[in-house]
Amino acid sequence: MLKNKNVIVTGAGGGIGLATVNKIAENGGNVWACTRTKTEQFEQDLQNIANQYGVWIKAVYFDMTNESQMKTAIKEISLEKRSIDVLVNAAGTVYNGMFTMTSISKLKEVFEVNYFEQIYIMQLVARLMMRQKKGSIVNVASVSGIETTEGKLAYGSSKAALIYASKTISKELAQYNIRVNALAPGLTDTKMNKEIPDADLQKVLDRSSMKRMANPEEIANAIVFLASDQSSFMTGQVMVVDGGRLWS
């Protein structure tokens, strides 16, 4: 579905991001895999994936809270003179805490990564896509940005803001043949969710029709669909992939 497409993936160091890199490659796409920290394991993982599927994958390093690093990275990508067909915003951070125990500084910290810097990288990449008159942007949000849950003020609010931004930006970029969609995963079996207390985890699973967490690969499959031309008439949408989460 992504044969010969060139894709930027943020948050590629693990979890949904790395699974997305793998799925893009499996579907014939090339990847700029963006993460904060360089490790031998990450470099080896990318090389193994590239060799397996016969595509190119390049590691790109920057901190999502450092706009200067981000700007430099996107500029270096643009200097390769390749089309940037897709941006997948999979980077994010999580924080759980009750409203009265959530400091404003922590709230700002979560929004910095989950919202403000997502907007900034979209601005940088969209300007390049506008010259091409084509592109697809997929923002990984969360069901926490749709349904309210105690203790999710910071995280849920930041994801709700990202969902709103995705819809608004989709209207502005449609004239350039750039689609913008959001994905709202439910609980996914990643490192980010390992610290959830068993009792809290079970409460969420009990509200799910499928009674389990998603595998990162299942979320990555949905991302690939939104990124590809298979969803060519979709923009400004929020795709929920949550195993049938029930709120009634």
Catalytically annotated residues: 155
Q: What angle do CA 30, 237, 145 make, to 5 degrees?
A: 100
Q: Which residues pair with 239 in a beta bridge?
A: 183
Helix 15-26 vs helix 40-53: crossing angle, to nearest 10: 20
Burial 78-99 (b: 16+ CB within 10 A, else e): eeeeeebbbbbbbbbbbbbbee
Q: CB of 228 within 8 A of CB of 2? A: yes
- Is residue 106 helix, strand or coil? helix
Q: CB of 123 within 8 A of CB of 165? A: no
Q: Please give the span between the terminal C-alpha atoms of the chain, in angstroms, as a whole number.
A: 37
